[in-house]
Structure 1
Amino acid sequence: MINPQFGMPQGMEWLIILAIVVLVFGAAKLPELARGTGQALRIFKTETKGLHDDDKKDAQTPPAALPPTSTTQAQPVEQSDVEPESRADKHTG
């Protein structure tokens, strides 16, 4: 069997990684850490399953026909005459 140069850790590497994790988190927190990781993975799986189910549901159901909308008549806008102010009027003081 040919071992690749860069791949998954095997044997002794896993023991070293486990020792580092125990040193960083402490032995008392490892069950809590594993429980939290398991809950996060469970939530992730249910959400991704929900997305796949939604995609299948959308593919099976044809789009619903939109009800006819009523059109309203546009009302003309009343415009009032406004005289523009000159810049000279603003700066006099």
Structure 2
Amino acid sequence: MGQIGARELLLLAIVVLLVFGAKRLPDIARSLGKSARILKSETAAMKSEGAAAPPKGDEPQSPPVAKTIQAAPGDVASSRPVEEPRPAQQG
């Protein structure tokens, strides 16, 4: 008891097929894969931002470059610009 065998997996597959239907399963799998790619790219971007050291002193800063996050390589339709927080300017 407690082991998942072939019968249980087959029964689970049949129930999922009946609930969602054969036409919707590829769409669901595709959207899950796309979500996983977006999550992976977001976490990689957060890690790279944390590793970058902020400039010190009175060095002139170049204007920030707008970043674009894409769901998949070559996927232009779902890309979106990233809004980054801007430091408060002292006057």
Note closer, same or farther for the CA distance 1:45–1:10 as it changes in structure 2 (3 Å cut). Answer: farther
Answer 1 or 2: which has greater helix percent: 1
Unmatched 5+ stretches in structure 2 = 59-89
- Aligned partner of 2:26 in structure 1 is 31
Deviations 1:71-91 (A, max 9, x none): xxxxxxxxxxxxxxxxxxxxx
Superposition map of 1:1-93 within 5 A = 5=2, 9-57=4-52, 61=53, 64-65=56-57
The DSSP-based 3-state class of the residue aligned with 2:57 is coil
Q: TM-score, normalised by structure 1?
A: 0.51
Q: How many residues align?
A: 61
Deviations 1:29-55 (A, max 9, x none): 111111111111110110011111111
| Cα-Cα RMSD | 2.8
Unmatched 5+ stretches in structure 1 = 71-93
Q: TM-score, normalised by structure 2?
A: 0.52
Q: Which has the higher contact order (CA 8 A, sep 6+)?
A: 2
